[in-house]
Amino acid sequence: MHKSLHQYVPELLTSYERVGGLNNSDAHNLPSKRAVGQICEDLLQLLFPGFHDDDAVHRGSLADLTVERMARVVARLTDQVRKSVRIGDPHKPTGKTPPIMEKFCQSLPEVREWLRADIETAYESDPAALRPEEIILSYPFIEAISIQRLAHRLHQLGAPLIPRMMTEWAHSRTGIDIHPGAAVGSHFFIDHGTGVVVGETCRIGNRVKLYHGVTLGARSFAKDESGHLVKGGKRHPDVQDNVTIYPNATILGGETVVGANSTIGANVFLMHSVPPNSLVVYEEKQLSILDKTKREKAGGQPSSI
């Protein structure tokens, strides 16, 4: 069978030449998705020692273990960042990678402080959370926001492509899609989380709580004279401090601002700003609750779901 497979190879090679953009024969010039995924795993171990390990981490060995892990992360991430900044000219040194890595490593303690505030908020907000450790071990949002906060630092430092790869790795694992460009304030919490989308130019204040299915997205996309999308620009909404957004709400537009201390109800579709202290809900539509046994006796049939 193996020999017979050779008959398919020439046509596939021809396809590589004919159909551009789907293959890269100079793979050394592109970052590796697998490598970035492993880096994310290693970074979670650095952020939460003992929570992403098979064996217990003892205080006496923590210093040596941290040095070892830091060295591994720096080596791998440096290689991937260097590839990303050289896309288009793999042989030209840019000098950008060392300062990016130095500032990124310096940011790790600060990121842990932000994450501690996120975990505390989740514990205070969710009656189902019995201990903070439960949040770190089992809540998908903490993994998503951990990687996003790290990726956001790299994004701010000018590392191309790698931040997006990191948040898409977290997206694939958690169902939570937060672009690395989004600025997310402190004490952030996403309850449940599945299907949440936060766009690149979002600015989220402090003590904001989102539920599953929330979209903070773009309203429309500007095009140039040739009909091509104009890249960049403010496209996604701002959410100010102390806002709660309930499940499946959709808020769109770069000029849209949700004022501080507001509550956005479930399933709301919003494309304009609301002032602080607003409650935004749909008026309840007519709802019928019928007794199925009485309907059956009367000759009717209960509706199917």
- Could you tell me the residue ranges of all domains in the chain? 26-176, 195-285
| Cα 186 off chain centre by | 16
- pLDDT-derived band at 54 (thresholds 50, 70, 90) equals low
Query: Could you tell me the CA-to-CA distances from 97 to 157, 171, 207, 291 in Å, in that order?
Result: 10, 26, 34, 68
d(C-alpha 245, C-alpha 190), whole Å:
10
The reply to whether 26-176 and 195-285 are identical in fold is: no
The third-level CATH classification (topology) of the domain covering 26-176 is: serine acetyltransferase, domain 1 (1.10.3130)
d(C-alpha 111, C-alpha 43), whole Å:
11
Q: Where is pLDDT greater, at 229 or 134? A: 134
Written as six digits, the tokens of 171 are 């997206």
Least confident of 47-51, 89-93, 278-282: 89-93
d(C-alpha 191, C-alpha 210), whole Å:
6
d(C-alpha 39, C-alpha 173), whole Å:
15
pLDDT of residue 27 exceeding 60, the answer is no
Q: What percent of the chain has pLDDT over 90?
A: 66
CATH superfamily of 195-285: Hexapeptide repeat proteins (2.160.10.10)
pLDDT of residue 42 exceeding 90, the answer is yes
301: left (phi over 0), alpha (psi -120 to 50) or beta: beta
- pLDDT-derived band at 2 (thresholds 50, 70, 90) equals low
Query: How many helical (H) and strand (E) elements, i.e. helices and strands, does the chain have?
Result: 8, 14
Radius of gyration for the chain, computed over Cα atoms and rounded to the nearest angstrom: 24
At 305 the pLDDT is 43
At 169 the pLDDT is 98
| Cα 224 off chain centre by | 29
d(C-alpha 250, C-alpha 290), whole Å:
31
In this prediction the pTM is 0.86
**Single-letter residue type at 74:** V
**What pLDDT, in 10s, does the model give residues 214-238?**
999 998 777 777 778 888 889 999 9
Mean per-residue pLDDT over the chain, rounded: 89
Q: What percent of the chain has pLDDT over 70?
A: 89
- pLDDT-derived band at 250 (thresholds 50, 70, 90) equals very high
Q: Where is pLDDT greater, at 169 or 2? A: 169
